[in-house]
Amino acid sequence: MQRWRGLDDVPADWGRCVLTIGVFDGVHRGHAQLISRAVKAASERGIPSVLMTFDPHPMEVVRPGSHPAQLTTLARRAELAEELGIDVFCVMPFTTEFMKLTPERYAHEILVERLHVAEVVVGENFTFGKKAAGTVDMLRQIGGRFGFAVDGVNLLAEHTVTFSSTYIRSCVDAGDVAAASEALGRPHRVEGVVVHGDGRGRELGFPTANIAPPMHSAIPADGVYAAWFTVLGPGPVIGTVAPGERHLAAVSIGTNPTFSGRTRTVEAFVLDGEADLYGQHVAVDFVERLRGMEKFDSVEALIVQMGRDAELARDLLTRADLHHRG
């Protein structure tokens, strides 16, 4: 897969392409369906498939100061698009100039003149251009004039819920990581670098990797979760947590009220390994919520509960894994 940053990266001899457009935060099941359609259309036409996305999030430019929580980093979005078979991942810097392009100019100058689209695949709710005034019908009309096709895809929904990044953010925010997982087609992932905590975990018998995620990451509600833990890099790791391998984990999110903590932390206790993880880039894939964060009257009571959490997480993850494989 090629990666372009802006339209200056379009090769001089660029031919025609099938294009899909959107923020695609989360690359959820609806997005995956759309992307697969674009990939299929491109292969039928014998031309490349291009995914155009935006950075920063358009909302940040349209309404400065507001930034929706991010379900996936740009790098993760690219990785998932590549798995779905996209040939070119094109990141458009979302500037105020870009924001002011009328739908007509957007379609003519970017889609036709620069990207040479033969077909555009978008969801039926897709909007584009200044004040999001461009609709799928408008795109079809413009396509009729400039000679490109438009595939406006029905939105993927299940049990009255239409999958969208907004819906999944609300699930994560409420701690309903199982519902998020259902809509994403995989567990919600929080990535980050392992930093130093208060150094108390080891004394309690539950050493935890404290994870510092990028700004704006969508963090599940405070509580305790069963999750998969993976070291993404850079390695090597001293210990029994092998980079690239999934490990069972119980993850705590909150301010550690038992110790009257103030900072909100994301901490993973790896059940089946021991390692020095400081400085490693790791991923936590949230499978189930076990309970809320509690203030215990004694450290002993907390330790007993952490033991129960760990066993519950082990049972749940092992069962989920069997179900998945079986």
Ligand X SMILES: Cc1cc2nc3c(=O)[nH]c(=O)nc-3n(C[C@H](O)[C@H](O)[C@H](O)COP(=O)(O)O)c2cc1C
Ligand Y SMILES: Nc1ncnc2c1ncn2[C@@H]1O[C@H](COP(=O)(O)OP(=O)(O)OP(=O)(O)O)[C@@H](O)[C@H]1O
Binding site for ligand X (CB under 6 A): 197-201, 204, 206, 208, 210, 224, 250, 252, 256-259, 267, 269, 293-294, 296, 302, 306, 309
Residue pair 257/294 in contact (Cβ under 8 Å)? The answer is yes
Torsion over CA: 99, 104, 109, 111 (sign) = positive
In angstroms, what is the minimal distance from the CB of 27 to ligand Y? 9
Partner in contact with 252, chosen from ligand Y, ligand X, none, beta carbon below 5 to 8 Å by kind: ligand X
Partner in contact with 119, chosen from ligand X, ligand Y, none, beta carbon below 5 to 8 Å by kind: none
In angstroms, what is the minimal distance from the CB of 286 to ligand X? 13
Q: What b/e string do you get for 90-109 counting C-beta neighbours within 10 Å, with b at 16 or more?
A: bbbebeeebeebebbebbbe
Partner in contact with 198, chosen from ligand X, ligand Y, none, beta carbon below 5 to 8 Å by kind: ligand X
Partner in contact with 267, chosen from ligand X, ligand Y, none, beta carbon below 5 to 8 Å by kind: ligand X
Strands 161-162 and 157-158: antiparallel
Q: What b/e string do you get for 217-255 counting C-beta neighbours within 10 Å, with b at 16 or more?
A: bbbbbebbbbbbbbbeeeeebeeebebeebbbbbbbbbe
In angstroms, what is the minimal distance from the CB of 53 to ligand X? 35
Please, which contacts does 7-13 make with residues 24 or more away whose CB atoms are closer than 8 Å? 7/90, 7/92, 7/110, 7/114, 7/115, 9/90, 10/114, 10/115
Angle at 72 between CA 250 and CA 102, to 5 degrees: 160
Spatial separation of the C-alpha atoms in residues 227 and 206, rounded to whole Å: 16
Partner in contact with 18, chosen from ligand Y, ligand X, none, beta carbon below 5 to 8 Å by kind: none
Of 173 and 294, nearer to ligand Y (C-beta) is 173
HSE-CB at 282 with a 13 A cutoff on CA atoms is 34
In angstroms, what is the minimal distance from the CB of 249 to ligand X? 8
Partner in contact with 72, chosen from ligand Y, ligand X, none, beta carbon below 5 to 8 Å by kind: none
In angstroms, what is the minimal distance from the CB of 241 to ligand X? 15
Of 31 and 247, nearer to ligand Y (C-beta) is 31
Of 126 and 269, nearer to ligand X (C-beta) is 269
Of 217 and 256, nearer to ligand X (C-beta) is 256
Of 48 and 207, nearer to ligand X (C-beta) is 207
Tell me the three state secondary structure of residue 232.
strand
Partner in contact with 210, chosen from ligand X, ligand Y, none, beta carbon below 5 to 8 Å by kind: ligand X
In angstroms, what is the minimal distance from the CB of 279 to ligand X? 16
For binding to ligand Y (CB under 6 A), which residues are involved? 21-25, 30-31, 33-34, 122-123, 125-126, 153, 155-156, 162-166
Q: Where are the beta strands (DSSP E) in 87-168?
A: 88-93, 117-123, 149-153, 157-158, 161-162
Spatial separation of the C-alpha atoms in residues 250 and 305, rounded to whole Å: 12
In angstroms, what is the minimal distance from the CB of 21 to ligand Y? 6
In angstroms, what is the minimal distance from the CB of 265 to ligand X? 6
Tell me the two tokens of residue 315.
Answer: 């049972």
Of 61 and 293, nearer to ligand Y (C-beta) is 61
Partner in contact with 33, chosen from ligand Y, ligand X, none, beta carbon below 5 to 8 Å by kind: ligand Y
Tell me the two tokens of residue 261.
Answer: 């903590």
User: Crossing angle of helices 177-184/165-173, nearest 10°?
Assistant: 160
